[in-house]
Copies of this chain bind each other. A is one copy, B any other.
Amino acid sequence: MSLPHALLTALLEHPCSGSELASRFDRSIGYFWQSTHQQIYRELGRLEAAGWIESLAPEGGRGRKRAYRVLPAGRQELKRWVGESNDPKPLRNELMVRLRAEAVVGPTGIARDIERQMALHLAQLALYREIETRDFSRVDPTKADALRHLVLTAGIMTETLWVEFCRQALAVLAAPGD
């Protein structure tokens, strides 16, 4: 359960409202943890109830922007959580299930979809490289910069992997069948 701590991190980097969090999540932390605005609003309510963040705007209710800021207890909780040790969650990849199924009930037209997925991964890779050039070209980055760059690097490595995998998959599917 990383969402609350992802929100704490984002709010520490820059206090803001729920909608701003939702859009900032599409970049940065969103590379590896996405969320819809409904989830974010609910979680902000919980974080406030737990005394980890506070709302800066009036309790106006619906429609009015409400900015949040992390309280010392929230910062402490985040630090505690970072120090925790959690096993990596096993992978879930639907394409792999489909390839196993293809081995049993194939051939189907799966190759066309793999080409499509390869294009998506290539596009994402191009986006990441663009962000890398724009945001991480400093000659003397701070440690925090280096860590954020590292996370982006993981995105680049992952997309590169799937592009290469799609290539191999297409080669297998195109080989003379039996």
Measured CB to CB, the residues of A under 8 A from B are 2, 5-6, 8-9, 12-13, 28-34, 75, 78-79, 81-106, 108-110, 112-113, 116-117, 120-121, 142-148, 150-151, 153-155, 157-158, 161-162, 164-165, 168-169, 172-173, 175, 177-178
Contact = CB atoms under 8 A, between A and B. Distances in A.
B154 A165 contact: yes
B172 A96 contact: no
A154 to B, nearest CB: 5
A139 to B, nearest CB: 14
A148 to B, nearest CB: 6
A101 B178 contact: no
Contacts of A177: 143
Given A110-B83, A150-B169, A143 B103 contact: yes
B82 A151 contact: no
* Identical chains in the assembly: 2
Given A85-B113, A103-B143, A103-B144, A32 B150 contact: no
B121 A88 contact: yes
Given A82-B106, A110-B83, A96 B144 contact: no
Contacts of A175: 143, 146
A110 B89 contact: no
For A9, A88, A100, A164, which residue has the most chain B Cβ atoms within 10 angstroms? A100
Contacts of A5: 97-98, 101
